[in-house]
Amino acid sequence: MQRRLPREVRDIVYAYVWDDKTLKDTRITYHPKWNCSGGDIDCDTLVKTHHPGTVDSCPKHGQIPYFMRPGFVGDASALEIVEFWYKSISRVKPDIWELRTTDELDYVIRGDAFSVGLDTTTVVRKLTLRLTTDGFLRNKGKDTSESKRTVDALLQIKNKANFKLRLRLEQSYLQLNPWFTVFDIFRPMIEKFEEEGADVRLLLVYAQDLKPKLVFNMLPALKNPESNWREEAARHFDSVSTLILHRLLPHT
């Protein structure tokens, strides 16, 4: 098909393949390697061939349809079909690129979930990362820390122009002192993203069971840490009546 049809026409075919019904019916509404229960060899066999699998095979990779498998449609077609899946899946699962752990981020950025040789950073054009401040700052400075792994993974995104990055750090109890450290960790990465044309948001989220969630934009504070952002954040949260029983901690 690659020899006979230009990419523009092939994309019309892929759009027909990946209509909303097919996206839902194939049940691939998640990134297959998140919490994958199979072994590497078994999963690669399921993905790369038309082997039906066994009762012990990975249930997630076993659901991948034949037309996404290189062993069935060829390497080039499988790669393009998978690319189109990445571009289409958010229509039926809008929150698929809303991630809650650094492990999930690693799978999306570094993983080849369908074993077709795809660099996912070229097709995923938006990410929302929801982390807790305590977890993010735990073991800071170490190579295995969540903060270093997060920044290193995000910097793997090559095409940052027009990329939408949303960083949501949640706190069960509002403490503003840790944000000086958060700013120092994120600032070089955010500056690089914005220099290359990305749309970045950095949000402090008060993680109590409140509706709507209480959110404060911390990006201006990161860019100007000498401003009175602490007072502005305190006034913002104190002005909401639902926070009467959840006041800012005295040491903040």
Q: Where are the domains of the chain?
A: 1-93, 125-252
> What is the band of 236 on the pLDDT scale with cuts at 50, 70, 90?
confident
- Low-confidence winner among 63-67, 200-204, 238-242 (lowest mean pLDDT): 238-242
Question: In terms of DSSP bridges, do strands 214-217 and 199-206 run parallel, antiparallel, or are they unpaired?
Answer: antiparallel
pLDDT digits (tens, 9 = 90+) for 203-212: 998 876 666 6
CA distance 23 to 13: 15
Q: Could you report the per-residue pLDDT of 36-59, keeping only the tens digit for each?
A: 666 667 777 777 776 666 656 677
57 phi, psi to nearest 5 deg: -70, 160
| Helix intervals (H) in 56-215 | 59-62, 70-73, 75-88, 102-110, 133-137, 146-154, 179-195
Q: What is the pLDDT of residue 198?
A: 96
Residue in 142, 139, 206 with CA at minimum distance from that of residue 175: 206
Share of the chain above pLDDT 70, in %: 84
What is the token pair recorded at 4? 């006979």
How far is it, in rounded angstroms, from Cα 68 to Cα 30? Answer: 15
Q: Give Cα separations from 234 to 11, 35, 134, 168 (angstroms).
A: 51, 39, 19, 18
Pairing of strands 164-171, 199-206: parallel
pLDDT in the model for residue 244? 47
Q: What is the 3-state secondary structure (H, E, C) of 209-228?
A: CCCCCEEEECHHHHHCCCCC
Question: Given this model, what pLDDT does residue 248 score?
Answer: 47
Structure tokens given for 234: 């305190």
Q: Does the pLDDT of residue 155 top 90, yes or no?
A: yes
What are the φ/ψ torsions at residue 216 (nearest 5 degrees)? -130, 130
Tell me what percent of the residues of the chain surpass a pLDDT of 90: 32
Residue 237 burial (10 A CB sphere; 0-12, 13-18, 19+): buried
pLDDT exceeds cutoff 50 at 106:
yes
* DSSP for residue 127: E
Largest separation between any pair of C-alpha atoms in the chain:
70
How much is the average pLDDT of 96-113? Answer: 85
Q: Is 119 left (phi over 0), alpha (psi -120 to 50) or beta?
A: beta
pTM listed for this prediction: 0.82
